Amino acid sequence: MVKMTDSRYALPIMASLAVLLLCAIPASAEFTAANAELPDFFNFDENYYTVYGGPDVTATLVGDNEFERGDSVTLNLDLMNKGLITGFRSEGDKKYLDKLEQKLQSTEMSYESQRTTAIGIVAVLTSLDPDVDVKSGPQEAGTLVSGQQTESPVKFNIEISNNAGSGSYPMRLDLYYGYQKNVQISGDNETNLGITNMEVGLWYDVGGQNTTFDIFVKDEARFEVTNVTGELYPDSESMIYVTYENVGDLPAKDATVRISAADPFSTTDDQAFLGTLEAGESTVAVFKLKVDDLAVSKAYALNSEIKYEDIKGLDQISDTVKIKTDVLPASAKADGSNMLVIIGAGVVIVLAVAGYFVYRSRSSKKVGDE
């Protein structure tokens, strides 16, 4: 009968601690043990070998790694264990072993080969750039023996900021797992039926690895409103002048902008042709807007979209671009109109007075000549 002293059942707790106490466990591109000392109670059997090596879990991104700014996507990662036994050292002091010791030694080595198995893998993904946000927490990936790959990918949801620039964004994947750290074995006697009263002690520890990979944000044209002029009043129709700038990396050919006029606005002129905008270039679009007579005087935002042709000749539609403008009080328009009337009346009076003096001057000169 074989008696097993096995710490396997402590692995869920160990894995949780690995996730919660990341700083306490060293992680590197290669297998790294937590280097916990064997407890005193473990040393009750013979330890014939010290074995080196362990799990080596690698990750491969499945599918596309190039996305657009503003995307919410799921990254799929395949994990594979390529663990190896890299060496061993005999711990026995005897030059010659009896048959029982030779059998125990051989049996221990068969158990030691399990050292490369990664047990209860937990994966943690972290973005190394604030423009990419990882929405998923730690993911469990099960147990992988050496040479085995996950049956289904480990999934992480990420969000890419609307303000992310084009280029590469590094992601870090940390992997934590249990592994068999050491084996001790003992027995009373060797018989034809095997070793009697054999005891096997198995000690498990926590190991960790990390790797980095890049995702990419595509180059594209991108638009912002940089200036808005024009005065809008309730129960009035006016022109607004909107400056669009291509703040992206690529040109936009034959661009046309269209606005969505919601209450209190309406329009029969909701489109404007922008032409071709190179990266960094600006142009002005003119829209005629009618404001409802019940409109409240405050700041408003209208939505607009730009349709354009990209460098591949494909039609594209931009993200929504906000146009911020104000509806001014009707009294401001009235005050402006009254001021124009006053100015106009003043001009008329000045012209009339000037005409009177010119007339008097000419009349006086005529009388003097007579």
pLDDT along the chain (370 residues), means of 10: 40 38 41 54 60 90 93 96 82 62 68 88 97 97 95 96 91 95 73 67 87 94 95 94 94 96 91 96 96 93 96 92 94 57 53 54 54
Q: Where among 165, 196, 217 does a domain terminate?
A: 217
Query: What pLDDT is stored for residue 27 in this prediction?
Result: 42
CA 232 to each of CA 200, 228, 229, 324: distance values in angstroms, whole numbers, following the listed order:
86, 12, 10, 12
Same domain, 47 and 185: yes
The answer on 283 and 183 residing in a single domain is: no
Specify the DSSP element, H or E, that contains 268. strand 265-269
Residue 113's pLDDT is what? 81
DSSP letters spanning 113-165:
GGGG-EEEEEEEEEESSTTEEE----EEEEEE-TT-B-SS-EEEEEEE-TTPP
110 and 50 share one domain: yes
Q: What is the pLDDT at residue 268?
A: 87
Residues 315 and 172 grouped into a single domain: no
pLDDT at 23: 35
The reported pLDDT for the residue numbered 25 is 38
pTM above 0.75, yes or no: no
Instruction: Provide the pairing of β-strand 49-54 with 118-127.
Output: unpaired
Residue range(s) defining the domain that contains residue 272? 223-328
Residues 323 and 335 both lie in one domain: no
d(CA 158, CA 161): 10
User: Which candidate, 244, 218, 221, 228, places its Cα nearest to that of 318?
Assistant: 221
- Domains of the chain: total: 3
What are the start-end ranges of the H helices in the chain?
A: 11-20, 99-112, 330-369
In angstroms, rounded to a whole number, what is the distance separating the alpha carbons of residues 51 and 56? Answer: 15
Q: Which pLDDT value is given to residue 28?
A: 46
CATH code assigned at 75: 2.60.40.10
Do 171 and 227 share a structural domain?
A: no
Q: Using the 3D structure, point to which of 217, 239, 255 is the last residue of a domain.
A: 217
The answer on 294 and 355 residing in a single domain is no
- Give the integer Cα–Cα distance in Å for 41 and 38: 8
Residues 324 and 334 in one domain: no
Digit-coded pLDDT (tens) for 278-313: 999 999 999 999 999 999 999 999 999 999 999 999
**What is the structure's pLDDT at 106?**
67
What CA–CA distances, in Å, run from 195 to 3, 188, 189?
11, 7, 5
CA distance 182 to 188: 21
Count of beta carbons in the 10 Å neighbourhood of residue 149: 13
175 in the same domain as 104: yes
pLDDT value of position 303 = 96
Mark whether 34 and 86 lie in a shared domain: yes
* pLDDT at res. 353: 52
Nearest CA to 291 out of 325, 322, 315, 267 is that of 267
Is there a single domain that holds both residue 236 and residue 303? yes
Residues 244, 355 within the same domain: no
